[in-house]
Amino acid sequence: MLSAFLKRYTFRQKACLFLEEYIGFFVRYLPGYEGILMRRVLCRLTFKVFPRGALIWPNVYITHGFNISAGKLLAVNFGSHIDGRGGIHIGDHVLIGPNVFIGSSNHVISPDINTPRITLGHVMKPVTIGNNVWIGANSVICPGVRIGDNSVIAAGSIVIKDIPESVLAAGNPAGVLRAIS
């Protein structure tokens, strides 16, 4: 089963997964400026695109970084989890609050209830986060979602469908509350 899992990845992807799991374990919790620098180096090695000047706070868990591209001036606050398995594109000037989850893959839901779910695999759906977006604390961004430029996702929101540009969205599921001018 492990060999079938590893066959789907290139050598670079396997190396990135190794770095994320083993080196990431040590640098994920490093405090202070040294920790920020070490996390920045790790992300530059593993991400598809990772900008200079990005800020990754302690206790941020990132996996499948080789499918994540980030724009300039990204800030990811503590406790967030970003799963790039299905692909994530993050625009410029994005703020990601504490304890945010961004996922780009999900388990397959089969109509056949007799098929064990663990054998069905994953569905990959890329996530796109526009420029100048702020995602509030404890929010969840589900697979396949697009968040438009200049939008704000309120704290605690669960985003299951696309959010247009320049709006404040909140709730479970997140909906547009008002336009931002």
Would you state the structure tokens that stand for residue 62, as one six-digit string? 């990132």
- Length of the chain equals 181
| Residue 3 burial (C-beta neighbours within 10 Å; 0-12, 13-18, 19+) | exposed
Amino acid at 84: G
For residues 42 and 28, the answer to whether their CB atoms sit within 8 Å is no
Kindly state the DSSP code that residue 49 receives in the 8-state scheme: B
β-bridge mates for residue 174, sequence order: 171
The active-site residue, picked from 64, 81, 93, 107, is 107
| Cα–chain center distance at 165 | 20
Peptide bond between residue 58 and the one before it cis (omega within 30 degrees of 0):
no
Residue 107 designated active-site:
yes
Provide the annotated active-site residues.
107
